[in-house]
Structure 1
Amino acid sequence: MDINPYDAIVVGSGATGGIAALTLAEQGIKVLVIEAGPKIKRLEASNYEPESTLKRLSGVLTKKHIKQSQHPGYWKNNPDLYSNESKHPYDFPKKKPFLWTQGNQYGGRSLTWGGITLRFSSGDFHPAKKDGFGPNWPISYDELSPHYDFIENFCGIYGRKDNIKELPNGKYIGEIPLTENENIFGRKIKSKLNYPFIQSRGFDRNSSVKEEKWPKSSSLGSTFKKALETGNVQIISNHLVESFEINKITELASKLTIVNLENGSKEVLNCDLILLCASTISTLRILLNSEYKSNTSGFKDNSGKLGKYLMDHISVCRFFSIPKTKNSEELSHNYPVLSGAGSFFIPFGTNLPTIDNINFHRGYGIWGAIDRLGIPKFLQKDQNTSIGFLIAHGEVLPRKSNSVSLSKKTDEWGIPIPHIEFEWSENELNMSKHMVKTIQKAIEAADGEIKNIDELINIPFGSLFTKNLIALSDSPPPPGYYIHEVGGAPMGINEENSVVDKFNRLWRCKNVLVLDGSCWPTSSWQSPTLTMMALSRRACLNIKKT
């Protein structure tokens, strides 16, 4: 293998891998990136119809994408950006389903990311101070704020400064206008219910849009692109990381084993610094496989928390229709794009409406949009209405029983596959009931009507696609559905109660950093990617000082 000399290995080229590679490269550190998937061209990532619909049909029928097809993003993105589940399998108990979405290609899941960028509030880093449940983060909002600033400035984030305590203001380059019906919706829920309502914050588009350049929501159009331009970064594609070994005398990682996915051959790379950015479950798989070898060449997790306390967001989705306005009729031939910034939020956090007694810990927010689904007029069943959706995302408490471990089964390259055990607790189920009532009241206040998606549009191949779709169920989708999984290697203040320290380093193997969502001790309710990126930059800047 032809590799130039390097100082650090970054595993993964997605959102956290991109910012990690950039931050190190700009300090003059030579970086080798290991990516499990291939390099793809910009136009190969775009969504093309009807080709993409035929590919989705094949993905469902062949079971290549049978689990990932449950996610709504699968239906607007190019299905080639979703991993083949037969080649990258995982396990879960039959009565505890988990939907794991994987993106193995240059840019990882940043190519299919919705692009919402909400900051954590100060209280989100210390939630146990309010309710006494679970851990607090070992860092504060003030420590992360400058890194939020950098990423927002670098990437070009749209939003509006609403001065809401639950969502600190960021650095924005402008606003994506709301549709007329979204403005009307917001005014009605504010005046009738006193619900908070804000313009969403994030990017203006993602990789599903046909353009020549990669969107800035992807690492290939922002952080990773800039990292490669420094000349300090090289990348190996189609190689999966199996595990790392440590030197028992120094307690530092010294070797990393990778597998060539094209021919199955294995190679051992020497390493002085490893940064794990493979996405939560993939990173946990590497850590568990490395720790498993602790009697010989692995590290030792003294906390007993590795693989435990996996979290996700519990979610409830409702589609609805409202009467068309004059302007929404004019938009019918040129729908505004649904994006991270092209949408809205009802950002409750823990300041929830007292519809019933609140018999659960923590809070949630509601994402929504109207007149942005891009549904062709001939597919819409009622031409006199506009279609919208509301999706509530709620914080999930860290529980030891929700976990990732290594299965006895292996993939085709002989590496143990992840075994995921996760179910909603009574706390989350009570929260979901509250979400349903809150959404119902909002839609009623806006003179709308809740309907199933198949009542609103004529879906091609409808019986094949909708028969088992979770999105059409009244119950909360299973964990993993909205791709917000975090936890499993939580950061903390000492090695007795955490896997990594406040700068994301393994306690007993300081030259291995865990930079993706697996390092989170709690989940909060906001979309996690912006905070993951900010944490990554903070940790990588600290490397310079050590």
Structure 2
Amino acid sequence: MDINPFDAIVVGSGATGGVAALTLAEQGIRVLVIEAGPQIKRNEASSNEPKDTLNRFSGIISKKHANQSKHPGYWKNNPDLYSNELNHPYSQSKEKPFLWTQGKQFGGRSLTWGGITLRFSPDDFHPSKKDGYGPDWPITYDELSPHYDFIEKFCGIYGQKDNIEEVPDGKYIGEIPLTSNESIFGNQVKLKLNYPFIQSRGFDRNSSVKEDQWPRSSSVGTTFKKAISTGNVQILSNHLVESFETDKITELATKIIIVNLVNGKRISLNCDLIILCASTISTLRILLNSESKSNSSGFKDISGKLGKYLMDHISICRFFSIPNKIQKKNNFNSNSYPDLSGAGSFFIPFGSNLPKPESINFLRGYGIWGAIDRLGIPKFLQKELNSSTGFLIAHGEVLPRKENSVTLSKRTDSWGIPIPHIEFKWSENELNMAKHMESTIRDSIKAADGKIRRMDELINIPYIGLFTEKSIALSGSPPPPGYYIHEVGGAAMGFSEEESVVNKSNQLWRCKNVLVLDGACWPTSSWQSPTLTMMAISRRACLNIKKN
């Protein structure tokens, strides 16, 4: 293994790892990026039917994708972008299922990211001031705003300025037009229900699309592309980080232990700076393996909160049909449909400003993502030719609770590393929120003269009901935690080492040359899609490194 001299190690190559590598490299810092999976070519990430469908069924039968196949993204993306669960297992309680989606390849889960980019509002950084529950962030919206600006401009985000407090406006390069029926739907919910309605914000493509260049929603197509061009970044793929070791006197990290996944060989690398961007649960696994409780050379977590207060978003999904009042030829013909993407869709962005306040028996808030005429269902498969098909997915904030946690299992993976054990259960607060979501979705569809439909009522495919009736996304109950792939928390940033795992600069309180930049550092979850905020946090922290 030939590794050039480096100043910093970035663990993970997804959305946050890309921002970290770019920000450090542009400051002249030499970066080694360690990625657990392989480097793949562009055409290996694109969808390729019918090969992908055969691979999906193979993944289910072999159980290498037993959990991840339950997410609808698995059926849209190339299944090879989802990790082999037999090689990278985790444990959970049968009565508390958790669906963990992993992306072990260069680019990480940015290759399957839906590409929605909503900013947090100023109030989202100090939610307890409104309801008195839980921690606040040690940073403010104003501190993060310039980094939101940079990410949006650099990556090329689509959207429009709506002047809605719950989702502050950003820096956009243009907008993806709504379909005619989306515009009609939006006008109806605004007119009849006084709901907020905006065009979504985000990217116009993801990695499933067959194009020569990597999409800008991926770290490979944006941040890493520029970072590598600086000459200060090198990639070490197919190596899994096990832990890091600290000096007992200085309490700083001095070595990082990695495992070659091809031959199983362990390697110890000296290091001056470690940036953890492996994704929430993978980062927690590294931290737990590196903590003094499980490692004689480990760091000390004075708070006792490491691995605790894991969060996700609770969600409810409903498909529906509405009368097709507009001729499709204005936007697309019967065999061509506009893409569903982060920007090619819409939002009903309530936040905590929810309708029907008299029926609210829970804390915090939610938003609803949706689209109409973007599912790409060919006309010959449609059962209702005079209607249009859409979906609404509500996703809401989950409160940080100590019992929702990640610990180390007694089981190990193929390389002898303890696997993560996940304990997570929806509380009464989230379940009450889900009931409110269901009511709001029904009211929205009714306002547009639509009807909630099952997939077998919309699509003319034999036996489709046998598949959809067992779909957790389409069941009457909220899908289990992890389903929405928005897990955060477990190594929260805060105001003191007695109450948090990392400080406001994302450093471990005593082991200050280790920074946690992905979702693991979040003290609360808010309701918006988290990736944009993760990227902004990563840039802020890496720009501050030379100042500390």
Query: Which TM-score bucket, shorter chain as reference?
Result: over 0.9
The answer to whether 1:28 aligns with 2:18 is: no
Q: Distance in 1 between matches of 2:333 and 2:181?
A: 11
Q: Which region of structure 1 is more displaced relative to structure 2, 94-103 or 56-65?
A: 56-65
Q: Distance in 1 between matches of 2:467 and 2:58?
A: 11
Q: Distance in 2 between matches of 1:382 and 1:23?
A: 51
Contact kept, 8 Å, 1:24 with 1:30, in 2: the verdict is: yes
The answer to whether 1:42 aligns with 2:45 is: no
TM-score (norm 2): 0.98
Q: Which residue of structure 1 aligns with residue 386 of structure 2? A: 384
Q: Which residue of structure 2 aligns with residue 103 of structure 1? A: 103
Measured at CA, do residues 59 and 500 of structure 1 come closer, stay the same or move farther in structure 2, by a change above 3 Å? same
Q: Which residue of structure 2 aligns with residue 75 of structure 1? A: 75
CA shift for structure 1 position 261: 0.7
Contact kept, 8 Å, 2:115 with 2:203, in 1: the verdict is: yes
Q: Distance in 1 between matches of 2:289 and 2:469?
A: 38
Q: Which residue of structure 1 aligns with residue 522 of structure 2? A: 520
Q: Distance in 1 between matches of 2:420 and 2:461?
A: 34
Q: Which residue of structure 2 aligns with residue 535 of structure 1? A: 537
* Residue identity opposite 2:524 in structure 1: T
Contact kept, 8 Å, 1:355 with 1:437, in 2: the verdict is: no
Q: Which residue of structure 1 aligns with residue 136 of structure 2? A: 136
Matches within 5 A, 1:106-121: 106-121=106-121
Q: Which residue of structure 2 aligns with residue 425 of structure 1? A: 427
Contact kept, 8 Å, 2:412 with 2:418, in 1: the verdict is: yes
* Residue identity opposite 1:423 in structure 2: K
Deviations 1:110-147 (A, max 9, x none): 00000000000000000000000000000000000000
Q: Distance in 2 between matches of 1:69 and 1:204?
A: 24
Q: Which residue of structure 1 aligns with residue 159 of structure 2? A: 159
Q: Which residue of structure 2 aligns with residue 146 of structure 1? A: 146
Q: Distance in 2 between matches of 1:482 and 1:431?
A: 16
Contact kept, 8 Å, 1:328 with 1:386, in 2: the verdict is: no
SS in 1 for 2:512: strand
CA shift for structure 1 position 355: 6.4
* Residue identity opposite 1:153 in structure 2: K
Q: Which residue of structure 2 aligns with residue 261 of structure 1? A: 261
* Residue identity opposite 1:234 in structure 2: Q
The answer to whether 1:398 aligns with 2:419 is: no
Matches within 5 A, 1:219-234: 219-234=219-234
Contact kept, 8 Å, 1:355 with 1:434, in 2: the verdict is: no
RMSD of the alignment, in Å? 1.2
CA shift for structure 1 position 326: 3.7
The answer to whether 1:347 aligns with 2:349 is: yes
SS in 2 for 1:432: helix
Q: Which residue of structure 2 aligns with residue 443 of structure 1? A: 445
Q: Distance in 2 between matches of 1:497 and 1:425?
A: 23
Measured at CA, do residues 314 and 542 of structure 1 come closer, stay the same or move farther in structure 2, by a change above 3 Å? same
CA shift for structure 1 position 52: 1.2
Q: Distance in 1 between matches of 2:326 and 2:120?
A: 38
SS in 1 for 2:334: helix
* Residue identity opposite 2:291 in structure 1: E
SS in 2 for 1:255: strand
CA shift for structure 1 position 328: 2.8
Measured at CA, do residues 39 and 461 of structure 1 come closer, stay the same or move farther in structure 2, by a change above 3 Å? farther
Q: Distance in 2 between matches of 1:420 and 1:315?
A: 19
CA shift for structure 1 position 502: 0.2
* Residue identity opposite 1:132 in structure 2: G
* Residue identity opposite 2:516 in structure 1: V
Q: Which residue of structure 2 aligns with residue 197 of structure 1? A: 197
Q: 2:415 aligns with which of 410, 413, 416?
A: 413
SS in 2 for 1:310: strand
Q: Which residue of structure 2 aligns with residue 500 of structure 1? A: 502
SS in 2 for 1:135: coil
Unaligned runs of 5+ in 2: none
Q: Distance in 1 between matches of 2:259 and 2:470?
A: 36
* Residue identity opposite 1:81 in structure 2: L
SS in 2 for 1:151: helix
SS in 2 for 1:369: strand
Contact kept, 8 Å, 2:314 with 2:479, in 1: the verdict is: yes
CA shift for structure 1 position 224: 1.0
Contact kept, 8 Å, 2:180 with 2:326, in 1: the verdict is: no
The answer to whether 1:306 aligns with 2:309 is: no
Q: Distance in 2 between matches of 1:495 and 1:413?
A: 33
* Residue identity opposite 1:513 in structure 2: L
Deviations 1:184-213 (A, max 9, x none): 000000000000000000000100000000
Q: 2:485 aligns with which of 483, 499, 507?
A: 483
CA shift for structure 1 position 292: 4.6
Contact kept, 8 Å, 1:13 with 1:34, in 2: the verdict is: yes
CA shift for structure 1 position 384: 2.0
Contact kept, 8 Å, 1:368 with 1:388, in 2: the verdict is: yes
Q: Distance in 2 between matches of 1:236 and 1:380?
A: 48
Matches within 5 A, 1:258-297: 258-292=258-292, 296-297=296-297
Contact kept, 8 Å, 2:469 with 2:475, in 1: the verdict is: no
Q: Which residue of structure 1 aligns with residue 470 of structure 2? A: 468
Contact kept, 8 Å, 1:367 with 1:392, in 2: the verdict is: yes
Q: Percent identity?
A: 78
Q: Which residue of structure 1 aligns with residue 323 of structure 2? A: 323
Q: Distance in 2 between matches of 1:114 and 1:199?
A: 15
SS in 2 for 1:154: helix
Provide runs of 4+ in structure 1 moved above 3 Å.
292-295, 458-467
How many equivalent residue pairs? Answer: 546
Deviations 1:60-118 (A, max 9, x none): 12211121111111111101100011111001100000000000000000000000000
